[in-house]
Every structure is written in structure tokens, then in C-alpha cells.
Amino acid sequence: MRFGSKVLFDDVTTTFSSGRRYGLTGPNGAGKSTFMKLLTGELPPQRGTVVRPAKVGVLRQDQFAFDQFRVIDTVIMGNHKLWSALQERELLYAKSDLTDAEGMRLGELEGIVGDEDGYEAEANAAILLQGLDIPEALHDRTMSEMQGGQKVRVLLAQALFGQPEALLLDEPTNHLDLDSIHWVREFLLRYAGTLIVISHDRHFLNGVCTHTADIDYQTIITYTGGYDDMVLAKTEIRSRVESDNVQREKKISQLQDFIARFSAGTRASQVMSRKKEVERLQTTELARSNIQRPYIKFTMNRPSGRVAAEIKGVNKAFGDLKVVKDFSAIVNRSEKIVLVGRNGLGKTTMLKALLSDAPSVEPAPGALDSGTVRWGHEVSIGYFPQDHTGEIKLGMTAVDWLHQFDPDASRQDIHGLLGQMLFTGEEGLKPTDALSGGETARLLFCRIMLQKPNVLVLDEPTNHLDLESINALNIALQKYEGTVFLVTHDEDLMEEVGTRVWHFDGQTIQDFKGTYEDYTASLV
């Protein structure tokens, strides 16, 4: 499969066996979602064949695609053949008078509905939903009324409708809180068919997968074990492949030297054989890894005072719903606080309240109802918002947008920083209007690195990042000497970065002074 000059897959032969759970990994742009579409039949391969079971369940990335449909109908849509037959049948029944052709078509449709168990479809869908903790009272509601975790369960029911032999899941944990992620993990561990899952959550892949199918070198290599097992095995393979590449490049260079020296002399036959040898070596393009690692390093212009922030009696409500109630805390320099809890319980609201009148951040007066937040001496803040909308001004190039945050920096420094975050060569001149989600996130990290703040406030920074970038962020936060406030559902980040936990349970905010691991151990 190729797009223009970009080769995604070249002569790939691979098998996914029944009863195994595969993580499909590779950096953004490597072709994971394209490969999923080849497996589902949504895209035909340009060459080669894909053999798949008769019934394949698919969980797609877009959780909002079915918002106007009833929950029960969304599940039945998992059987495309049945759903389209039911829709067409309904239109024919609505007519007062049928032609002979329409009458015959109605008979055909009744046959399809019968073959596909359509007369029991609602009952079967309801059983699935109840098994996935969606009570009967919600079955007639529209999908737009469901919360994020509930939507994913409904879409899982859709994928499972009709008992598929294989389940293909594209980012099943996106926008889910930790409790829902744990639920999905436990559910998938019980699934008996073939599972193929794309995820940027290392902890999730390690917990679920028996095998890892990695897209790299324009092919797919399958490793035994979870993501971490794959990284270890791949490092050995990569060094071997790259060493082979070096040897071939060296050989080509030696042959070309010989050709250049003797092409006009008497050794014509030797020159000709060497030219053929060069052609042979060059026709097999050098296999290069498509993995690119960003280099994230957060430094500070100067440290803050010993107390980074003093929070007293902070309150924030939306109408009658009190989200943050009378919260007080003292945050010392270099503490790394992770804010955890289910979605909708106030983590982002808390961050916005803290930033309502913060240095080097645009004021947001309505973000705090009462109480005070006093930032410490010399505090400067780098903020990464969950919603990037409006963060990056349109109609500029990436390099110009970044330059405005430090007009004294040289263009060379700005391009160097962009290069660290994988905006190589001409990519720094990309218009801000054309940035993808992942590129926008990387550009926001460039801004923080340029500002060199001593406090980082990061709200879901791993959304839109691939595994390589998330690992780079993890290491950068561990090494950072300033203060961190972090909202994330990535358990590795929580465990490896956090030194203090604020847990939101909808009633109170528990302030636990210790690591996330210590916090979870204290709950047992």
C-alpha cells in the first residue's frame, strides 16, 4: 500500500491467530489506521490479498459518529447487512401501494432479516448492552446523551454484535477515565477470538496483549509479549538491520570509486560487472526504521521560591453543581502533582481555577468563584491545555508563531527547537492552519521549552501523541526540576512522574502526599 511516493507496506505477509491479542504499534503516520482499514475491507490493498473471517467486529475512533441514533440501534448497526435490510424494509412498509418489483424485493429483505437473526436483533442487542453495564433504561436514549465511558461500551457492543470471530479496536481508551480503561482491559482479557488493538497507552498494551505487531521498515514484524517486550526485542533487530545498511552503503561507495577510476581505461568488463553489482545493491532499497524520537527537555530560566503555590478555600460551581469545594493546599517547589479521578469530576476545572489569575498565563476571571490562589516568588508557568482550539494563531508559519514567544531568539535556535520536536527541514515553514492534532501538540511543547518556565500545568498532554513521544515526555518530566500539575489517564506517567496525588471523587478532593503507587496501595 502506498500513497504517492510514500510506501506504507511493501510485500507484507502476516497472520493473526485465533485466541491471541495483538497490539498494533508504530509511530503516527506509519499506517496503523490504514492497515486496520485493509483488514476490515474498507480499503482494498493495491496488491496482494487479505483473508478475513465472515464476521469481524470493528470499534472505530470516532465516538460521536452515532450521536443522533438510539443506543439499541447503534448496536444493531454492527451487522451492516442486517441494518441496511431493516432500513430498506421499513421504507417499503411505509408505502401504501407496492409495485410487483418492490413486493419481490420485500420478500428478499425478509429472507435477509431472517438469515441474520433480525427478528431477535433488539433482544440480542439488549442482552449485550446489559452485559456491558448499560441498563435497559438507557437503551432508547440517543448516543449524544451517553457519557464517554458509556459510549465506548455501546460501541464495543456494536463491535461484538453477531458474535464476530475477530475484534479490531482503534484507540479504545481515547477520552476514557482510568476506571473505564480498567473495565475495557478486563473485558478484553476475557474475549476468546482474535483481537487486534491500536493504542498509544503503553500500560494498557502491556496489560492486554499476548503479541505485538509492529509496523516498521515498510513491513509488519510480530513479537511475543506486550509493548515493553517488543521494544527490547526490536532494539536488537534494529541494530542488526542498521548495521547491514551501513555495510551495504560502504560496499556501494567502494564500487562507485572503482567505476569512477577505471571507466575510461582498459578494465571495461570489470567496470561493467561492478555497475551491475551497484544496481543490484541499490534496487533493494535500504530498509530504514520509520521511528522518529522527539527530544523533549524542560529547563528553567530560574527556580521559583520554596513555596510554588498557596491555595486557600477555592470553590467553583456550575449552577447548582459544586465541582471544587473549599479546597486548600500548599504546593512546594519541585513537587509533581497528578490529578486523578473519573471524567467530569473537576480535574480540568481545578487547573483552570489555579490559572485564573496566574503569572504569564492569560487571565480567566470566571474560572474561580471564591478563595485565593497565591503563586510563589518568581513563578513562571508553562500551560498545555486539554482543548487546543484557538491556542495557535492561524495564518502564520510554525516558526513565526513560535518566534513571537521569544523575539530575541535567533531563527537558527527556533528551527533547532522545532527539529527536536520532529519539524525537520521545511516543516518549520508549515502554515499553522494545516497542522494535525499531533503537530499542534508538539508545537505547544516547543513553546513551553522556549519559555523555560519553573511550573508546568499539563492537561491531558498525551492526547494526539504516539508512544515514542509519550515516552520522551515521561522521561522529560521525570528529569524536570520545577513544579508540575498533571492531568493524565496514562498510568505509566502517573506512576513514574507523580510525587503527590489529588484524587477527585465527586464529593471531596483527597490530597495524598506520596507516589501514585503508594496511593493505590493505601486503598487496598
What pLDDT tens digit does each residue of the chain (524 aa) get? Answer: 988 888 888 899 999 999 999 999 987 778 898 999 999 999 999 999 999 998 899 987 677 889 999 999 999 999 989 999 999 999 999 998 889 999 999 999 999 999 999 999 999 999 989 888 899 999 999 999 998 778 888 998 999 898 889 999 988 887 778 888 888 899 899 999 999 999 989 999 999 999 999 998 788 999 999 999 998 888 787 777 777 778 888 888 888 888 888 877 667 778 888 888 877 776 445 556 667 789 999 999 999 999 999 999 999 999 888 999 999 999 999 999 999 998 888 999 999 999 998 988 887 878 999 999 999 999 999 999 988 878 899 999 999 999 999 999 998 999 999 999 989 888 889 899 988 888 899 999 999 999 999 999 999 999 888 888 999 999 999 999 999 999 998 999 999 999 999 999 888 999 999 999 999 999 87
Decide: 473 and 446 in contact? Cβ < 8 Å.
no
Q: What is the pTM of this model?
A: 0.75
Cα 28–Cα 32–Cα 34 angle in degrees, nearest 5: 115
The reported pLDDT for the residue numbered 283 is 47
Decide: 448 and 384 in contact? Cβ < 8 Å.
yes
Angle subtended by helix axes 268-283 and 227-262, to nearest 10 = 160
Grid cell of 295 as nine digits:
527530544
Decide: 334 and 512 in contact? Cβ < 8 Å.
no
Over residues 54-64, the pLDDT tens digits come to 889 998 767 78
Angle subtended by helix axes 437-451 and 411-420, to nearest 10 = 130
Which stretch of DSSP H or E encloses residue 429? none
Within a 13 Å sphere around the CA of 213, how many CA atoms are in the beta-carbon half? 23
Residue with cell 508540575: 484
Q: What are the strands of the beta sheet with 211-216, ordered from one edge?
A: 56-59, 166-170, 194-198, 21-25, 211-216, 219-224
Three-state DSSP class for 77? Answer: coil
Decide: 151 and 143 in contact? Cβ < 8 Å.
yes
Give dist(CA 452, CA 416) in Å, integer. Answer: 15
Cα 513–Cα 518–Cα 524 angle in degrees, nearest 5: 120
